A and B are shown apart, each in its own frame.
Chain A
Amino acid sequence: MSVLLIAEHNNKEVKPFTLNAITAASQIDQDLHVLLIGSKADDVAKSLSEIPLVKKVLHIDHEIYENYIAENYTAAILKHADKYSHIICSANTFGKNLMPRVAALLDISQVSDIIKVISPDTFLRPIYAGNAFATVKSNDEKKCVTIRPTSFEAAETTGGSAEIEKIDAADQSENTKFINREEIKSDRPELGTARIVISGGRGLQSGENFKLITDVADKLNAAIGASRAAVDAGYITNEHQVGQTGKVVVPDLYIAVGISGAIQHLAGMKESKVIVAINKDGEAPIFSVADYGLEADLFEALPQFLEELNKLNTIQK
């Protein structure tokens, strides 16, 4: 049997988290087929076919799939799910919305948000916001699995030449209508995939003071994060929130500024490769996970930090 991965895309490009999910799917079974459901998405089909780990691309193209609606995607997936042992997608808002609907209709108990493939039926997944890891074995005949993207490397995107097979669309749901999407446009790297993240907390004391964070972020080409306390205080908007109820990030470098390190927040960043904490309270819990802790007033430390960075001849981007 083969595995079927559901691709996320915008009809022009494959979304990056799909590449991480492809890596995980290929660890379950190398006979990996990708299902592309879209409208005028031939370019996406072509890019998917060039991914060496992909053995076949199934392409459903119909105008009803111009926007992603879980109800419509589910009908299309169910039409073609028979031949597969596993149905897989990324555990971001795309896959979290979609997969349970598919699993329920196949009467499968879904395995959500895995961080490791132990065998085709056994997986490691975080529970309690990463405060415990569970090794779970699915006893369903067919499996529905979602992949935590940051736990797997992105698949190579060139060198492959998988066959593209056009397949049929399914019926459209009459009860859900797409209205619009407001994408947050930014020149900065996306929080979920950035190599460096610098986050501010309640210690910043105001939205204006986030400029201190922004200046360093500009210098390091970093994404900007925030604690829930900073978001709740209105210093910065919600899409910057890192933590159990916000985004989970795993950058090479995470800089926490004026963040005490509530359990909530740690859950979203403690897997980062290198963690820096800048806080004037030497007892703050954030220091217990920091590789480098600086006990200092952020209003003095951040401008100095920028100054020191400016002295460096080169900075990795």
Chain B
Amino acid sequence: MKILVAVKRVIDYNVQIRVKDDGSGVVTDNVKMSTNPPDDNAIEEAVKIKESGKATEIIAVTVGEEKAQETVRKALAVGADRGIHVKVDGNIEPLAVSKILKKIVEKENPDLVFMGKQAIDDDCNQTGQMLAAHLNWPQATFASKIEVNDKSLQVTREVDEGLETIEVNTPAIVTCDLRLNEPRYASLPNIMKAKKKPIEQINASDLGVDTNPRIEHIKIEEPPKRKAGIKVASVEELVQKLKNEAKVI
């Protein structure tokens, strides 16, 4: 069984982002970038499945500018076998990414495609479901547990009401929740070894996919600031304020 894992390079989740003064976007120069957190869970799960003997090969793929390769390199350092970097400059929407991934799937024929449930930059939560739609494959989103069977997966999903379990036949798409596992760190020797693993570069334009944005970003702005509050001296004062000033209890 072959597993394709899609990873995205985003601003690190610990960075307090800053909006550009001209409203055109957020500042990314000299800002720490990392792999989108739930994408790390997707890689980890694929590696665990391979370690259990149920998968033979893991391919990490990313779509993005030159430096997006770093996320593929990191995936290689924790256990992916080879990488694919689909090069595209500028803003690219989930719809276009899903069409690019479809081309990669058609080329590589994986049995499973894993990725994070949502990217923490644009917060779209679309790519996995869109890829499943293009391929007419089943989708198991927000996975917190995956059981691999012969020709199917049993997936537990984090939903608003609690947990839902579904069974999907393979090939299938799974989008991963942070609950799924605890991603490992790459060891130094593995980071060195990963430098020798192959990353194939493909230009998005060679895949025949229209990557022009359909959504215009008219303005990016800071959210309204909360006005500064006050410190209260005692619990008694707090309760009085909540009762008589804020009138919420």
Residue B242 is within 8 A (CB to CB) of chain A in the complex: yes
Closest Cβ neighbor of B236 among chain A residues: A308
Task: Given A273-B248, A290-B229, check contact A177 B242 (CB 8 Å).
Answer: no
Query: Which residues of the partner chain A approach B226 to less than 8 Å between Cβ atoms?
Result: 270, 275, 289, 291
B214: chain A residues at CB < 8 Å are 108-109, 138-140
Binding-face segment, A27-35, A95-103, A155-163, A200-208:
A95-103
Q: Is A304 an interface residue (CB 8 A)?
A: yes
Select from chain A the residue with minimum beta-carbon distance to B229: A291
Q: Judge whether A178 and B133 touch: CB under 8 Å.
A: no
Q: Are B159 and A181 in contact (CB under 8 A)?
A: yes
Q: Mark B78-117, 1 if CB is under 8 A from A, else 0.
A: 0000000000000001110010000000000000000000
Please classify the interface of chain B as helix (H, G, I), strand (E, B), loop, or mixed, using the class held by over half of its residues. Answer: mixed
Known: A103-B126, A245-B178. A132 touches B163 (CB 8 A): no
Min CB gap B99→A, angstroms = 9
| Closest Cβ–Cβ distance, residue B171 to chain A (whole Å) | 9
Question: Of the 9-residue stretches A37-45, A50-58, A80-88, A309-317, which lies at the interface with chain B?
Answer: A309-317
Write out the residue numbers on chain A whose beta carbons fall within 8 Å of the beta carbon of B229.
275, 287, 289-293
**B245, chain A: closest CB distance, angstroms:** 9
A220 beta carbon closer than 8 Å to chain B: yes
* Given contacts A100-B125, A175-B137, A308 and B218 within 8 Å (CB-CB): no
The interface-forming segment of B10-18, B53-61, B194-202 is: B10-18
> Which B residues are CB-close (under 8 A) to A220?
249
Hey, which chain B residues are within 8 Å of A139, CB to CB? Answer: 214-216
B1-9, B62-70, B138-146, B184-192: which one contacts chain A?
Answer: B138-146
Determine the distance from Cα of A289 to Cα of B223 in the docked complex, in whole angstroms.
13
From 236 to 254 in chain A, residues with beta carbon under 8 angstroms from any chain B beta carbon are 238-239, 244-245, 252-253
B-side contacts of A290, CB under 8 Å:
229
Residues on the A chain within 8 Å of B51, using CB? none
Q: B213: nearest residue on chain A (CB-CB)?
A: A109
Q: Which residue of chain B is the closest to A273 with respect to CB atoms?
A: B248
CA distance A291 to B168 in the complex (A): 48
Answer whether residue A294 sits at the interface, using C-beta atoms and an 8 A cutoff.
yes
Residues of B within 8 A of A293 (CB): 229-232
Known: A136-B218, A184-B162, A274-B248. A128 touches B11 (CB 8 A): yes
Minimum C-beta distance from B210 to chain A (A):
10
| B134 neighbours in A (Cβ, 8 Å) | 104-105
Of A126, A131, A252, A296, which is in contact with the most chain B CB atoms at under 10 Å from its CB?
A131
Q: Distance (Å) between the CB of B27 and the closest chain A CB?
A: 10
Shortest distance in angstroms between B117's beta carbon and chain A's nearest beta carbon? 8
Q: Which 5 A-B pairs have the closest CB atoms?
A: A100-B129, A109-B214, A104-B130, A104-B133, A100-B126
- Residues in A lying within 8 Å of B, measured CB to CB: 69-71, 74, 92-94, 96-105, 107-113, 122, 126-140, 173-184, 192, 196, 220, 238-239, 244-245, 252-253, 263-264, 270, 273-276, 282, 287-296, 301, 304-305, 308-309, 312, 315-316
Contacts A112-B123, A127-B26 known; 6 new A-B pairs at CB < 8 A: A100-B133, A101-B133, A104-B133, A109-B213, A180-B165, A183-B162
